Amino acid sequence: MPEQTLTINKTRLEERIHKLAEIGRIGETGVSRLALSKEDKQAVEIVKGWMEEAGLAARIDHFGNLIGRLEGKKAEAPVLMLGSHIDSQPYGGRFDGVIGVLGAIEAVQTLQENSVIPDMPIEVAAFCDEEGARFNKGLFGVRGILGKLEEGELDRKDKNGITRRDALLSFGCDPERFKESEYAPGSISAYLELHIEQGPVLEAKDAPVGIVTGISGPLWLTVELEGFAGHAGSVPMHMRQDALVGAAKVIVALNDLASEDPSAPTVGTVGSLKVFPDSRNIIPEKVMFTVDLRDIQMERRNIIENQLRKRLHLICEDHGLTYTVSEDTNSEPRYCSEDIMKTMRAASKEIGLNAPELMSGPFHDALAMSYECDYGMIFVRCKDGISHNPKEFSTMEDISLGTELLYRTALKLAVK
């Protein structure tokens, strides 16, 4: 699509992306902007200013979400919501989540500049703590507004012992007033999210933009193994209760199970591991590690989970270990609205795109929203499929096309 035919302002969007990338920057291209941190607050404040510049009434709610609102002809009608997140992984990139928030602001600002008054209110959300990197449980802000938080979430601690409750208070939020920030059932008509793909499919298809058909169901577990500490130089190998050896075998088992069917989209990952007492010459007594298991087919994911639990039990028996497994997240696959996908297909053709359709392996704020309303997602090609890494990269040409598709989709949904 020639740049001169873009409705959205590519230059403005690019400037905002680059400016936001300076907050929490690590190295040349990386970003570390953990949820509810001082960097996150700085980013929220600057994005709030851009929302207001775009003509939105912006607020920070008690879950730490930044939400901007553009009124429509029918003030009481359910809102059309656009959004994503601006928090990052500790070793993240510039585009994950960010293009969805800044692209949504650009889409609404373009509506304003074209004197379009939507039939219903439009809201742009930068949801708090989508990543889950700091407190080991994500989608916090979006689940908050839907009244879907779980018991004990405010007591979760980060690696420095700070609870989510204390982090929210420091951010200027009041957990005692959560109810004020919840949305009534039925008050959101639809949700749209623009995001980098975080995978290699679009690049392999030589396509700048894709239409998402659904999101794989994530299962997050925390596994703790306990053995017995002893001197590394004196306890015979056959007498050891080494929790780290047991954990290593479970981790390999997860990798093997997730890899059994090369044609399946199953993925299994252990991304965090803690060892106690963590000393060179002491046999590890306790090990905690996370499990991230995903699949678009729930039955297959359940089979693998059951096989993993059986392997865990046998490995712990063999090594004289005890274990506990706690479930942090468990979601079924969620499919995008067929009506919204039809709208996206029509908008895609208008701008000369033949957007392929693909599933999302990673979860997004859209996953939580799917339980409240119809949702649709647009993916933008990213180089080599790299994400959650400073090398994450998408071109402004591709991001602009994705934002243009978001704008035209929102226009079709908001103006009948």
Binding site residues for Zn(2+), as ranges? 85, 96, 131, 195, 388
Helix (H, G, I), strand (E, B) or coil at 247: helix
Q: Please report, in range form, the residues annotated as the binding site.
A: 85, 96, 131, 195, 388
Query: In the 8-state DSSP scheme, what is residue 144?
Result: H
> Which regions of 302-362 does DSSP assign to beta strands (E)?
322-330, 334-335, 357-360
| Helical residues (DSSP H) of 114-267, grouped into ranges | 140-145, 164-171, 178-181, 201-204, 243-259
CB distance 265 to 359 below 8 Å: yes
195 strand-pairing partners: 379
Q: Please state whether beta strands 30-31 and 25-26 pair in parallel, antiparallel, or not at all (unpaired).
A: antiparallel
Q: What share of the chain is helix, strand, coil (3-state, %, to 5)?
A: 40, 25, 40
Mention every residue, 6+ apart, whose C-beta is less than 8 A from residue 141. Answer: 63, 64, 65, 85, 125, 127, 128, 129, 130, 365
| Alpha-carbon distances of 101 from 85, 166, 209, rounded to whole Å | 6, 26, 17
